Structure 1
Amino acid sequence: MTKVTVADGSFDAPLWLPESGSGPGLVLIQEIFGLDDYLKSVAADLAALGYVVAVPELFWRISPGWSATHDEAGVSASMAVAGRLDPASAVTDVLATLATLRALPETGGRAGVFGFCLGGSMAYAAAAEGDPDVAVSYYGSRVPEQLPLLDKITCPIQFQFGGADPYIPAEGVSRLADAVASHDGAEIHIHEGAGHAFHNHVAPMFHQPEPAAAAWALTLEFLGRTYPA
């Protein structure tokens, strides 16, 4: 566990260390479900690859310790909590976690951002407003509507989207793909037939094993090429 301090308070960020005890850092940013078994498993997977992983609690001001079930009731409750989140404060928290992670001796001063769903939007915004070494954004619903932020991003960034995502209009993803094509260091992968949160293996209503495996393989290749552990 590491503590992150911001202007209006502080929060704890659970920390996962690789077996070696050190490696480049990754700020892993939650979905609307909070720090649940899914996010913990992703953190463990990234740590097993050699990364030092920190997970900021985005809802610490409004619903500390939030974690919801992965069903219709959990989605509804989580969306209500997420609706009270101030995006600017959340990005500030992510950037503060990035700085805290960089300051740890275990990371050697390196740290990137990696987010899913809500976290995918936050990773994108943090890459534009801060200076992470790398960024990975999975199906961030606000990404297409914030297209101008792409011009501010200088680190390598990868986007993953489902081609049949009911929460993110295909037209917006298409516009993003056009912009990515002319942006150095950026890449986008759109998985046809995949819906939202397809990588979440503990959510039966969302998980799609084939696009999840394909996206993860592409992400591992991207990290290995641009930000190796």
Structure 2
Amino acid sequence: MSQNDVTTLTVPVTGGDLPADLHLPPSGQGPGIVLLQEIFGVTGYISGRARDLASQGYVVLVPHIYWRLGDQVVSEAQDGLPEAMGLLQRLDWDAAVADASAALAALRERDEVQGPVGVLGFCFGGGLAFATAAATLPQGAGPDALVSYYGSALPDLLGLAPQVTCPSLHHFGLADDYIPQDKVREIEDAVTADGRDATFLTYAGAGHAFDNPSPLFHDADASEQAWVATGQWLAEHLPV
């Protein structure tokens, strides 16, 4: 994972200031991406993916969605799962969507951002990205593109699918213990209905969170295939 310039800034939101990490590409400017965390917080993995995207030419903002819960970071090993699930249960979902939307608006306003702005999320962040894309925002304030990796909340958010008007890319493993294949197909039907500009990719044998390098989750082949596909899709929809 490549190095890039990163600074921590704050975004004013209801109830306080949302901390967020800004990763700049080598050129110092480019299209923007808001990157949304998994249930474990802003881990080294999430920061690494932000650096990867920055190295491709994107200005990446990583909001610390758990800031209202003490901005915790939890181990991605088996023994960290109960704590991470506990944090998720305590999370105010509506506030999280509002915070992600505020991060999107703040990124748009930055001088470094030249061109469109998208949102990309993993697991919990994949569902949050979807909800953010569906949120009622001022004209032109929503994301220009959405990438959702195995969005864990998507089965409960399908009623919002008609409100997601930007192009979207979805990744799901077909051996996901949390989202079974029938639910994956239900999600696919919803996000691709009515001629929506949605690309839906699945990976045989891959489980949930297959992009996460933790041995608990990682599927090297699916991770590589999905990341290459993501880069190609972003090059089309958020060209550098």
Scaled to the shorter chain, the TM-score interval is: over 0.9
Which residue in the other structure is 1:185 paired with? Answer: 197
How many percent identity over aligned positions?
Answer: 44
Which residue in the other structure is 2:101 paired with? Answer: 95
Structure 2 counterpart of 1:31, which letter?
E
| 8 Å CA contact retained: 1:145, 1:172 | no
C-alpha distance in structure 2 between counterparts of 1:144 and 1:79, whole Å: 17
Structure 2 counterpart of 1:18, which letter?
P
- 1:212 alignment partner, one of 223, 229, 236: 223
Structure 2 counterpart of 1:180, which letter?
V
Which residue in the other structure is 1:18 paired with? Answer: 25
Deviation at 1:206, TM superposition (A): 0.3
Which residue in the other structure is 2:117 paired with? Answer: 111
Gaps of 5+ in 2: 1-7
Which residue in the other structure is 1:148 paired with? Answer: 159
| 8 Å CA contact retained: 1:31, 1:118 | yes
Structure 2 counterpart of 1:82, which letter?
L
Deviation at 1:144, TM superposition (A): 2.2
C-alpha distance in structure 2 between counterparts of 1:179 and 1:81, whole Å: 29
Structure 2 counterpart of 1:43, which letter?
A
| 8 Å CA contact retained: 2:121, 2:128 | yes
| 8 Å CA contact retained: 1:34, 1:67 | yes
1:86 aligns with 2:92: yes
Structure 2 counterpart of 1:215, which letter?
A
Deviation at 1:159, TM superposition (A): 0.6
SS for the counterpart of 1:165 is coil
| 8 Å CA contact retained: 1:56, 1:97 | yes
Structure 2 counterpart of 1:208, which letter?
D
Moved more, 113-122 or 175-184: 175-184
CA deviations 1:119-174 (Å, max 9, x no partner) are: 00000000111410111000111112211211011111111111011111322211
| 8 Å CA contact retained: 2:119, 2:145 | yes
Structure 1 counterpart of 2:111, which letter?
P
C-alpha distance in structure 2 between counterparts of 1:69 and 1:119, whole Å: 17
Gaps of 5+ in 1: none
Which residue in the other structure is 1:166 paired with? Answer: 177
Deviation at 1:180, TM superposition (A): 3.3
C-alpha distance in structure 1 between counterparts of 2:227 and 2:58, whole Å: 15
Aligned length: 227
Which residue in the other structure is 2:131 paired with? Answer: 125
1:68 aligns with 2:74: yes
Deviation at 1:2, TM superposition (A): 2.2
| 8 Å CA contact retained: 1:121, 1:142 | yes
SS for the counterpart of 1:193 is coil
SS for the counterpart of 1:221 is helix
C-alpha distance in structure 2 between counterparts of 1:144 and 1:191, whole Å: 18
Deviation at 1:109, TM superposition (A): 6.0
Query: Hey, which bits of structure 1, 4+ residues long, moved more than 6 A?
Result: none
Deviation at 1:108, TM superposition (A): 2.9
C-alpha distance in structure 1 between counterparts of 2:190 and 2:15, whole Å: 36
SS for the counterpart of 1:168 is coil
Structure 2 counterpart of 1:187, which letter?
T
- 1:37 alignment partner, one of 44, 50, 55: 44
TM-score between the two structures when normalised by the length of structure 1: 0.95
Structure 1 counterpart of 2:201, which letter?
H
Higher strand share: 2
C-alpha distance in structure 2 between counterparts of 1:110 and 1:103, whole Å: 11
Moved more, 180-189 or 73-82: 180-189
